[in-house]
């Protein structure tokens, strides 16, 4: 879905994070902006525009930690453990907007194994996990090949 505009060629792809009555809380994935919008302001995108090549690619990881690590800090051992244990796993990624500059991401391998703490659940994307970064790192979300890839800042 995308917000309606006077010119139907102008739209933003969105990730809905919450719905109440006829209002939606959403992340405009192209411009990294958090919005509240009325459902009358939406239309379904043509299938071509919903393809991954047209989708925004960047988000931030937040509060990622190895199970058993309570200080929220990455150690090289935790980094190696997490990367190796999740390298070929498929995971659910939950998106939250923290402000208009970045997104918070919550990663689940299964219902019993939560990898990211202190964030509420919202709509999810099912992706293959190739690598993880430290809590300030960038990740690349690619719907085309269903992977999260490491970016070198």
pLDDT by residue for the chain (153 residues), tens digit each? 444 444 445 556 667 778 888 888 877 665 556 778 787 777 666 666 555 444 443 333 333 444 444 444 445 555 555 556 555 555 555 554 444 444 445 554 443 343 433 333 334 444 444 433 322 333 333 232 223 333 222
Any idea which residue has 């058993």 for tokens? 68
Whole-model pTM over 0.95: no
**Which residues are within 8 A (CB) of 146 and not within 5 positions of it... i.e. 6 or more apart?**
90, 126, 127, 128
Find the farthest-apart pair of alpha carbons in the chain and give their distance in angstroms, rounded: 53
Strands in 21-151 per DSSP E: 23-28, 33-38, 42-43, 58-60, 90-97, 103-110, 113-114, 124-129, 138-142, 147-150
């Amino acid at each position: 879905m995308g917000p309606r505009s006077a010119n139907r060629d102008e739209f933003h792809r969105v990730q809905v994070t919450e719905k109440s009555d006829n209002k939606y809380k959403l992340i405009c994935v192209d411009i990294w902006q958090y919005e509240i919008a009325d459902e009358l302001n939406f239309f379904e995108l043509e299938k071509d525009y919903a393809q991954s090549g047209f989708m925004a690619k960047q988000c931030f990881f937040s509060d990622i930690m190895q199970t058993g690590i309570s200080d929220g800090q990455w150690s090289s051992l935790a980094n190696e453990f997490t990367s190796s244990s999740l390298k070929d796993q498929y995971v659910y990624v939950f998106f939250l907007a923290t402000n208009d500059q970045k997104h918070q991401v919550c990663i689940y391998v299964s219902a019993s194994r939560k990898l990211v703490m202190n964030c509420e659940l919202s709509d999810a994307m099912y992706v293959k996990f190739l690598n993880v970064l430290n809590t300030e790192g960038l990740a690349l979300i690619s719907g085309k090949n269903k992977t999260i890839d490491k970016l070198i800042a």
